[in-house]
A and B are shown apart, each in its own frame.
Chain A
């Protein structure tokens, strides 16, 4: 006798793995596409809304449950095909939908474009998630296997989506993902037809395979034959540059970090921080763009200090003030030094590396964040488009790493550490960057830099001068705080180590490891006078007399505010600025976040209502995202579920409402809690794993896979249900606290390990936590089932999905205002709430009815 499961049951897990893989990969790819076409924060907003499709699928199932479950096999096959079609349709639909959603600030009438955009991206998730919940609900006896397959596919999809981006341009991927999903649909349809043919004596027409083929044809038509192609926002620098005469895109490379393009045009010339006194020629340069935003220029290697504009920028000051080289034309401070070692963090296209070499550096270590950058240069050389690159200079050591990770790993000392304006502060200073974490510009990050400085070393950072002033003040306060944290001589009077100069649009701050000597202060005066820069801060107090000679600021208090900050970090409290100027720490690593309630009114008075948005639109959009998610969630999930007739016709009155309230609390808490904990883990583990993209993929994949294992394990532990949830919550809190307490230590201790070894250690550390976190959903559904409330299972799925989606902006807002430990604590509180509900639940069940045998239940990974 054949004991194997039927063919259909053997195929279903494979189909679930595939569907989950393509859905997660699609999420990753769509986020990339929208970031490429528009800006990250609109991408974040749109994808968040589209992910409501997961929750809304539960609503649809809940509303017509008997019908869906009666035809579940056909419905599942159909959802596979529809998901594939919806994925393939994304490309032409994106081309047709107006993408300039940001103009909604001035023209609210453009809101319909934003709504259409969200709807376009909603469909694949809605269809795919509906297929999953149909299978889970229809075959509860095989839930362990199906749910495991779902999580395995999702984990693989998170990684697979990123890997696909190395090979294909993001815009080419939706049709491919659609084709993959469509093939799954064809496989499912063919399997159904074969099964039907075997069981029937009559000839069976291949209707299902025919439908599958038609679906594939439609996917191919939409994905490859449709004439509509999405185009990048014309307001992005890359789009505008391409309009210029004789512009040539030398190279374009896709990666999970973004689409890198190197462009040559006679109109491209870069000279950030250039002195207005410079009257020489600035020659056209090739410029690197990432996702359409300029990263920095490729240096002109035949430039010399005598002719180069780089020699006349504000951030060349370290080389003028304290020369470490033996070049005879330099005002040497230390002629006995044998070499000048420079570290350039966020080196981008290499302009500052070239500047260091030009100024006499004997060795330059360049930390490049994007690995594709160096590969792109090699490709350009191989294609004979350029002859060489600064990174091939024998004096240059190019390292691909996240700067903070490099600082943990490297033990070398440097005479100058440069955070360039092109690759670091200036680009990142855009208003849209407010909610980006920056692990380098934190007290701990700057302290790590200072530890790498030689005894006479200098740290040089350049930032925009904004109005009202805030970036320079925050940067200055950060350097003061970091110096104090080192408990060196700087703690006595940090201002003795600092200097700041300003041009018409940027300011450069330099921090010396030792206090300035009188000779060095003279040279700062001399450099500023020669180049026409203003002295914004000097410890000799001369800035009061000489400041603002050349560039008059709208806010005259900037100079006195810097002097206040220089006297010590505690003096920060007396600054009258309405902005958030507290130096960022690893717990709140948001350098570019400035808005407070008070500053909102200041900005509104200065710039009007739209000005607030433009001042820091990343933060404002975050709130808008949350508001839209709440509206969308209520409209698509809560309201339909709450008003559905199923709930009002079953079970006794009173118990029904209590059960629904408890399940709302429980499934909402675990959905939100899972996401909050996941976000905190990603943020913390970036320090250990280095690359943010890699860390995100690793954490998500590890959590999903081990949570799946935890879900399966929960069935074995179901014999002691009253203890399961409280014990799991206690374990989560202990494990979270342990991870939090040890992560900074391990980030440093494991820095010397190879990337693969660090990944293994991280997975091992996450495994127990994820195992426990995976037990909650199945346990909750098991209780629903035992209480005869299995009609609430789709409700649970919907609530869980809604809470997970809403938790993302909530976590970011909480992190910005309270810090990541507070987000972790909020996650723990969510699980505590779940534990409290479980007690209540258990108590009610004990008094009301006998416990039926536990049955397997559908589960969801949507709360990931």
Chain B
């Protein structure tokens, strides 16, 4: 019996410790800026992402604001992090690489399917004209909307809806970024891709090595290209 109580105490202690994350103070902001700089240099630029716009955006966006409080100290680690509801915030390099592959510029209209934490949308918003981002999990959509609002990004439009159908009112899009792996590419997304547009999408099975696929629409015909092995959270909803 005593053993059980000790065991329960051991379990409860780390749980309570997790929920007591201290607020971030200004000196810590400087430390985060330093970590961000190191992240871009070591994890992103060194692996071949060389688009200046993308690198600048990755340096600018405070990734630690998009992760749960108990993950803040790992925010700039070279790994994905859980954000709740079975979803993750992608590895920094993957975010940068997808942005580079989408070939965003200041005139791009971008659709993101799977807002998640809102981090990827924020990075793209630093580069593109407008980012339309959709999330189907209400809790995630609400949290991301609040985070984005608190950071005062005014070129991000959020919507809580099934990304499968895309955003017909705002189509066509120069780029579509799908941040979770679908089993098939939804036909509405293909339809909403502008001629010459690029869709970046992860492919593969949950918890398996996946690879990025670039889907391009040229002359009305859809073609794809395997880019590189990565890992993602599976596409919510579509099986």
Q: How far is the CA of A107 from the CA of B81 in the complex (A)?
A: 9
Say yes or no: B236 contacts A240, CB within 8 Å: yes
Interface size of B by CB at 8 A reads: 59
Given A116-B11, A120-B7, A277-B222, A245-B136 contact (CB < 8 Å)? yes
Say yes or no: B227 contacts A554, CB within 8 Å: yes
Given A120-B7, A271-B183, A466-B209, A505-B204 contact (CB < 8 Å)? yes
Q: Considering only CB atoms, which chain A residue lies closest to B137 in the complex?
A: A243
Say yes or no: A282 contacts B187, CB within 8 Å: yes
Say yes or no: B239 contacts A237, CB within 8 Å: yes
Say yes or no: A554 contacts B228, CB within 8 Å: yes
B224 on the A face (CB < 8 A): yes
Q: How far is the CA of A240 from the CA of B221 in the complex (A)?
A: 33
Given A100-B82, A429-B205, A274-B7 contact (CB < 8 Å)? no
Say yes or no: A431 contacts B238, CB within 8 Å: no
Say yes or no: A552 contacts B229, CB within 8 Å: no
Given A106-B79, A243-B85, A278-B187, A551-B207 contact (CB < 8 Å)? no
Contact with B along A88-123 (1 / 0, CB 8 A): 010001001100101100110000100010011001
Say yes or no: A116 contacts B224, CB within 8 Å: no
B99 on the A face (CB < 8 A): no
Given A467-B226, A532-B221, A550-B223, A96-B184 contact (CB < 8 Å)? no
Say yes or no: A243 contacts B184, CB within 8 Å: no
Contact with A along B204-234 (1 / 0, CB 8 A): 1111110101010000011111111101011
Q: Considering only CB atoms, which chain A residue lies closest to B4 in the complex?
A: A89
B52 on the A face (CB < 8 A): no
A244 on the B face (CB < 8 A): yes
Contacting residues, chain B, for A554 (C-beta < 8 A)? 211, 226-229
A601 on the B face (CB < 8 A): no
Q: How far is the CA of A607 from the CA of B215 in the complex (A)?
A: 22
Q: Considering only CB atoms, which chain A residue lies closest to B203 in the complex?
A: A505
Q: Tell me which residues from 402 to 441 in chain A have a Cβ below 8 Å from any Cβ of chain B.
A: 426-427, 429-432
Say yes or no: B224 contacts A276, CB within 8 Å: yes
Q: How far is the CA of A51 from the CA of B103 in the complex (A)?
A: 54
The listed residue (A85, A268, A466, A505) touching B4 by CB distance below 8 A is A85
B35 on the A face (CB < 8 A): no
Given A96-B11, A279-B187, A235-B137 contact (CB < 8 Å)? no
Contacting residues, chain B, for A39 (C-beta < 8 A)? 207
Main secondary structure of the interface of A (DSSP, over half): loop
Q: Considering only CB atoms, which chain B residue lies closest to A222 in the complex?
A: B4
Say yes or no: A432 contacts B225, CB within 8 Å: no
Q: Considering only CB atoms, which chain B residue lies closest to A551 in the complex?
A: B224
Contacting residues, chain B, for A603 (C-beta < 8 A)? 209
Contact with B along A456-500 (1 / 0, CB 8 A): 000000001111100000000000000000000000000000000
Q: In the complex, what's the smallest C-beta–C-beta distance from A64 to chain B, in angstroms?
A: 17
Q: In the complex, what's the smallest C-beta–C-beta distance from B219 to chain A, in angstroms?
A: 13
Contacting residues, chain A, for B205 (C-beta < 8 A)? 426-427, 429-431, 464
A615 on the B face (CB < 8 A): yes
Contacting residues, chain A, for B221 (C-beta < 8 A)? 532, 550
Contacting residues, chain A, for B227 (C-beta < 8 A)? 554
Q: How far is the CA of A266 from the CA of B1 in the complex (A)?
A: 48
Say yes or no: A467 contacts B211, CB within 8 Å: yes
Q: How far is the CA of A620 from the CA of B223 in the complex (A)?
A: 36
Contacting residues, chain B, for A606 (C-beta < 8 A)? 229
Say yes or no: A430 contacts B136, CB within 8 Å: no
The listed residue (A235, A276, A431, A615) touching B222 by CB distance below 8 A is A276
B196 on the A face (CB < 8 A): no
A294 on the B face (CB < 8 A): yes
B152 on the A face (CB < 8 A): no
B119 on the A face (CB < 8 A): no
A447 on the B face (CB < 8 A): no
Q: Considering only CB atoms, which chain B residue lies closest to A467 in the complex?
A: B211
Contact with B along A522-563 (1 / 0, CB 8 A): 000000000010000000000000000111111100000000
Q: How far is the CA of A610 from the CA of B93 in the complex (A)?
A: 15
Q: Considering only CB atoms, which chain B residue lies closest to A552 in the complex?
A: B225
Contacting residues, chain A, for B149 (C-beta < 8 A)? none
Q: How far is the CA of A493 from the CA of B77 in the complex (A)?
A: 53
A269 on the B face (CB < 8 A): yes
Contacting residues, chain B, for A762 (C-beta < 8 A)? none
The listed residue (B1, B79, B136, B223) touching A267 by CB distance below 8 A is B136
The 7 closest A-B pairs by CB, nearest first: A267-B237, A234-B86, A554-B226, A504-B224, A552-B225, A106-B79, A467-B211
Q: A235-B233, A272-B183, A287-B239 are in contact. List 12 more A-B contacts (CB 8 A).
A: A85-B4, A100-B82, A218-B1, A243-B139, A267-B236, A267-B238, A268-B238, A268-B239, A271-B183, A505-B184, A553-B226, A615-B208
A residues bordering B, Cβ < 8 Å? 39, 85, 89, 93, 96-97, 100, 102-103, 106-107, 112, 116, 119-120, 123, 218, 233-237, 239-241, 243-245, 265-274, 276-282, 287, 294, 297, 426-427, 429-432, 464-468, 504-505, 532, 549-555, 603, 606-607, 610-611, 614-615, 617
19 residue pairs from A and B, CB less than 8 Å apart: A100-B82, A235-B86, A240-B87, A243-B137, A244-B137, A244-B236, A265-B237, A272-B184, A276-B185, A287-B239, A432-B207, A467-B226, A504-B203, A532-B221, A549-B223, A550-B222, A551-B226, A552-B225, A615-B209
B residues bordering A, Cβ < 8 Å? 1, 3-4, 7-8, 10-12, 14-15, 74, 77, 79-82, 84-87, 136-139, 162, 164, 183-187, 190-191, 203-209, 211, 213, 215, 221-229, 231, 233-234, 236-239
